[in-house]
Structure 1
Amino acid sequence: MQFTTPVPIPKSSHSIDYASKVVSLGSCFAENMGNKLDYFKFQNTTNPFGILFHPLALQKIIHKAVRQELFSEKDVFYHNERWHSFDVHSELSLADKTTFLENLNSGIGNFHNALLESSHVIITLGTSWVYRKIETDAIVANCHKVPQAAFKKELLSVVQIKESLLEIIGTILTFNPKTKLIFTVSPVRHIKDGFVENQWSKANLISSLQEVVHATESTSYFPSYEIMMDELRDYRFYAEDMIHPGSLAIDYIWKRFAETWISEDASSIMPEIDSIQKGLNHRSFNPQSEQHQKFLENLQNKILVLKSKYPFMEF
């Protein structure tokens, strides 16, 4: 499948197993990897405040969660018949203000606990481009389709990103010294910024991460972007928009991640979980047949065996 020598990735000595508790944060590629962890029934929390593309957005929400700083009315605004916050993704927005604030603040509590209990935090950075709200001079996580004239677009420098990353690392490790941080750069190309501008953005992220990861303990770098660019150099690995990685690419990058980060014990269980998942998704032409009923019984027995070992697994 690859077109060049595979990007070398050292095997981690802090592997993820079924006792691990993972938090996956960042861009839409974080959702892809989070979905894989969920599919194979790892204990995982993915983007509790939705997709966040740049390091300053992640820094702010991590800071709020660790310190349990709740959202208040000053943190939300009404636009296009829904309540939004510039600190979270639009998927959380609601028509009812009270419910919206309640959801945000329960999310703070859940995220606080997830970080406190985490064994691994995976952070995927998407872009160095940010939007600054002119009225408040604050950099936002999401513009929520507010007119572009309300914002000024800026590119974070390597120094700014490095400072933000060091703040993220310090905040998380002071709060939970036992967790391991895995950083990666999203292979999704932000072509709307421009072809040159996208490469500039990714270069700033990669330069910052390499400096920080090599200078700090409990941090690692996984080369998602490099695998996509150097191993999967063909548009058949892209989705229909020719921008996002397609299912083949996601499966391949997950395979490389699993080889690096998933423990041997967990890897030996994953095929059984995959078999169960495929069985649950199977649609019989004759659901009432004796053969199908035996198939379902066998499937439930497999699930019960797994749940006896790992009670947290839900199918």
Structure 2
Amino acid sequence: MLSDRPSALHRKQEIVANCHKLPQQNFKKELLSTETISESIQTIFSKISDINTNAITINTVSPVRHIKDGMVENALSKAHLLTAIHANLKSKSKSVNLNSFYFPSFEIMMDELRDYRFYAEDMLHPNKTAIEIIWQKFSEVWVSSEAAVLQKEIAIIQNGLNHKPFNPQSEQHLQFSEKLQQKITAIQNRFSHIQF
């Protein structure tokens, strides 16, 4: 796993993820050891367990190839991350009571969907078809049938909300809007936290 450290120009020397897209010259990139990654994962597991001992974590490695630093560096980074994840899954600390599993999104992309027709134009990211195949495989194992039904209901509502009518004042559209609002209300009566 490649990580960024602020360069010598900055006083604070800590590992960060550059989510804020700060200029690259602000950082020194280095490959973390499997031990360092493993310790970080163990800390994450521990913190989750402190909040909810019944929580389940599903670990995965991104199927996106990050080749800005090179193909070999990408492969090595992913190998370190895979090694650290599996080391934690095999030897869970007795102090952490957490159910953790691994979902092979990276492996599905590399082994089952290795044909370039499953890649976006940049040849790095999975395309829509590949994402759908990976999601289906994930859903088969991790999404309950009740949640799958709810997902379909929500998708129907989202499609309805995204619909652009030719005539918003027509009787047909007003009836459509009323039925859509009834579906929204029905879901929110069951799950008050869901907002549309």
Q: TM-score, normalised by structure 1?
A: 0.55
Three-state SS of the structure 1 residue aligned to 2:4 is: strand
How much does 1:144 deviate?
4.3
Identity within the alignment, %: 50
| Number of residue equivalences | 187
Three-state SS of the structure 2 residue aligned to 1:314 is: coil
Q: Higher strand fraction: Structure 1 or Structure 2?
A: 1
1:258 aligns with 2:139: yes
Structure with max Cα Rg: 2
How much does 1:199 deviate?
0.7
The AA in structure 2 aligned to 1:227 is: I
Match 2:37 to one of 161, 172, 185: 161
The 5-angstrom pairing of residues 69-88 of structure 1 reads: none
- Which residue of structure 2 aligns with residue 97 of structure 1? none
- Which residue of structure 1 aligns with residue 104 of structure 2? 223
When the two chains are superposed, the root-mean-square deviation of aligned CA atoms in Å is 1.9
- Which residue of structure 2 aligns with residue 195 of structure 1? 71
How much does 1:195 deviate?
0.8
Which fold has the larger relative contact order, with Cα–Cα distance below 8 Å and residues 6 or more apart in sequence? 1
How much does 1:212 deviate?
0.9
Shift in CA distance, 144/233, structure 1 to aligned 2, threshold 3 Å: closer
**Cα separation, 1, equivalents of 2:163 and 2:63:** 32
**Cα separation, 1, equivalents of 2:81 and 2:119:** 22
- Which residue of structure 2 aligns with residue 68 of structure 1? none
**Cα separation, 2, equivalents of 1:146 and 1:269:** 42
Q: Give deviations 1:163-187, integer Å, cap 9, x for gaps.
A: 2211221222133322221111111
1:295 aligns with 2:168: no
The AA in structure 2 aligned to 1:205 is: L
Shift in CA distance, 237/147, structure 1 to aligned 2, threshold 3 Å: closer
1:182 aligns with 2:63: no
Structure 2 gaps of 5+ residues are: 93-97
Q: Give deviations 1:250-294, integer Å, cap 9, x for gaps.
A: 222222222111112111222222111111111122222222221
**Cα separation, 2, equivalents of 1:195 and 1:285:** 50
- Which residue of structure 2 aligns with residue 241 of structure 1? 122
Three-state SS of the structure 1 residue aligned to 2:165 is: coil
1:211 aligns with 2:87: yes
How much does 1:147 deviate?
5.5
Q: TM-score, normalised by structure 2?
A: 0.86
- Which residue of structure 2 aligns with residue 117 of structure 1? none
1:131 aligns with 2:4: yes
The AA in structure 1 aligned to 2:180 is: L
